[in-house]
Amino acid sequence: MTDRNDGPAPQSSLAGAISRRRTFAIISHPDAGKTTLTERILRAGGAIQLAGNVRAKGERRRTRSDWMGIERDRGISVVTSVMTFEYGGCVFNLLDTPGHEDFSEDTYRTLTAVDSAVMVIDAAKGIEDRTRKLFEICRLRDIPIVTFINKMDRESRDPFEILDEISSSLALDTTPLTWPVGRAATFVGTYDIRNDTVHTTIPVEESDPRMVQVREELELVDAALPEFDRESFDEGHLTPVFFGSAMKEIGVTDLLDALVAFGPAPRAQNTESRTVTADEPQMAALVFKIQANMDPNHRDRIAFARVCSGRLTRGMRLLNTRTGKSFVLHTPQFFFARDRQLAEEAFAGDVVGIPNHGTLRIGDTLTEGETIRFTGVPHFAPEILRRVRLDDAMKAKKLRQALTELAEEGVVQLFRPQDGAQPIVGVVGTLQLDVLQERLKGEYGVSIGFDSTPFSLARWATGDRTKLEAFMMANRSSMADDLDGDPVFLASSGFMMRRTEEMNPELAFHDIKQIG
């Protein structure tokens, strides 16, 4: 994308600019076609000229989302990045989520920053395990879902069967807005139900058996399925459904046109004290991701912030409401498929990267002065706990710094035992441990191993200060501090955890910590 330098055009009317923002993520089970669809979407938006996958296999076409050796080697997408492009008069921010479930916390945080999600389903496989999990996260947050049934160019299930599965297994009403013209090898495009137009790769007459089939099946659709209802969609109860083939570039613009037409504009966001609506004039933003050393040529640390209200401008002074410190926003950036560029201004819905040296953390709220804090960015209790073993004792200080930085980035959670023992890292999936090990070595020159711990559960302990302190004294060898210095109780088993809870009814033990 080196020849592209026209970012989102400056806007004069705040409300107008905000209503043109579409910030979304694509969710799917691995292999359903998320990468292919992402690439086709970016191409439709003019964001990439090169053919081929976003997750390019070749050296020359390497993109930002495979910056890390581990991703290249295993062919998985680990990091979350954002891609901005324009289409149909709207500014789209596509937030990429890691495909592997070991990075689910990252995915969850990314979903706190979107206004809608596109759910990609493999037409032959229907709803798969990971589709369902990601869908449930969206439902928790009432995120409207647009469905794209992919791989219609292959042998697939009957469209009615897929629609039925979506509504019965996800408890989600479906309204097809397009219908496939032909199937498998004869699939040539889509019929746009609302506009009564066909989008096919070759001319198809009304008398063509494929069109005859469309007309017949649409009678059934009319009889059996609800009409598209905007409110129901906005509330996350109904999904508009599109059919297509990302690979053959069929149905991709149907999807984008729909997002332009009714893809929700930036939603209101909750803070501890009030709800912030997108069109408020005062700027407020939420940091939902930190990423270090994204590009070997810019060894920096980027905080990704979603603008939740108002207009952000370069050079403005921002208050970090967690620390109470303010700073001047010198170099906010927009990201494109292959490039980044200074963001002179950004509006609610946009995601900007803010280079920093560790002053910004996940969950931070940035404002023009108001002391609010956005809620809803969680830490989940890790499911795997390991003690870090340092191979070279001389590097203890370096390790400490590196672990802190990587934990701030959300690569792992870090627990410092209160009895002074070696740090413990907590993860949801073991792949995170591999990433930690590789990045410590590659980026900090520290090699480590992992030892098992007697602990299998971590819970944030809260309660009356005196009682909490007495509890911590009595359980010193099972207590640790997290990155923010909040106390965490480590238990050897679920049984021990329940016993501890029973014996300390005045304290609460949480498996989710809200940050921000």
Site membership for ligand GDP, residue 247 (CB under 6 A): yes
Task: Residue 251: name the closest of 167, 351, 148, 349 by CA.
Answer: 148
Amino acid at residue number 336:
F
CB of 51 to ligand GDP, least distance (A): 12
| 411 DSSP 8-state letter | S
The answer to whether 257 and 251 have CB atoms below 8 angstroms apart is no
The answer to whether 442 and 69 have CB atoms below 8 angstroms apart is yes
The answer to whether 236 and 140 have CB atoms below 8 angstroms apart is no
Site membership for ligand GDP, residue 468 (CB under 6 A): no
Is residue 29 annotated as involved in ligand binding? yes
DSSP bridge partners of 391: none
Residue owning tokens 């203890």: 396
CB of 436 to ligand GDP, least distance (A): 24
Nearer to ligand GDP, 126 or 363 (CB): 126
Name the one range near ligand GDP by CB under 6 A: 26-34, 89-97, 174-182, 460-468: 26-34
Copy the structure tokens of residue 268: 């209101």
Where in 44-169 does DSSP place strands (E)? Answer: 82-87, 90-95, 116-122, 145-150
How many C-beta neighbours within 10 Å does residue 477 have? Answer: 11
∠ CA 269-275-280, rounded to 5°: 85
In sequence order, which residues have a C-beta less than 8 Å from that of residue 188 and are 6 or more positions away? 181, 182, 200, 201, 202, 204, 210, 250
Is residue 324 annotated as involved in ligand binding? no
Name the one range near ligand GDP by CB under 6 A: 30-38, 215-223, 450-458, 460-468: 30-38
Amino acid at residue number 261:
A
Task: Residue 498: name the closest of 479, 516, 486, 511 by CA.
Answer: 511
CA separation for the pair 383, 481 (Å, rounded): 17
Nearer to ligand GDP, 151 or 373 (CB): 151
| 186 DSSP 8-state letter | G
Q: Which of 8, 33, 176, 189 binds ligand GDP (CB under 6 A)?
A: 33
Site membership for ligand GDP, residue 35 (CB under 6 A): yes
DSSP bridge partners of 309: 284
Nearer to ligand GDP, 35 or 333 (CB): 35
| 75 DSSP 8-state letter | T
CB of 494 to ligand GDP, least distance (A): 34
Nearer to ligand GDP, 150 or 239 (CB): 150
Site for ligand GDP in 146-165 (CB under 6 A): 150-151, 153-154
Site membership for ligand GDP, residue 239 (CB under 6 A): no
Nearer to ligand GDP, 221 or 247 (CB): 247
Is residue 505 annotated as involved in ligand binding? no
Task: Residue 426: name the closest of 377, 474, 489 by CA.
Answer: 489
Nearer to ligand GDP, 151 or 210 (CB): 151
Is residue 339 annotated as involved in ligand binding? no
Name the one range near ligand GDP by CB under 6 A: 34-42, 218-226, 306-314, 499-507: 34-42
CB of 132 to ligand GDP, least distance (A): 15
Instruction: Say how many residues touch ligand GDP, by CB under 6 A.
Output: 16
Site membership for ligand GDP, residue 125 (CB under 6 A): no
Site for ligand GDP in 56-115 (CB under 6 A): 99
Nearer to ligand GDP, 149 or 448 (CB): 149
Site membership for ligand GDP, residue 30 (CB under 6 A): yes
Nearer to ligand GDP, 137 or 468 (CB): 137
Site residues, ligand GDP (CB under 6 A): 28, 30-36, 99, 150-151, 153-154, 245-247
Residues contributing to the annotated binding site: 28-35, 96-100, 150-153
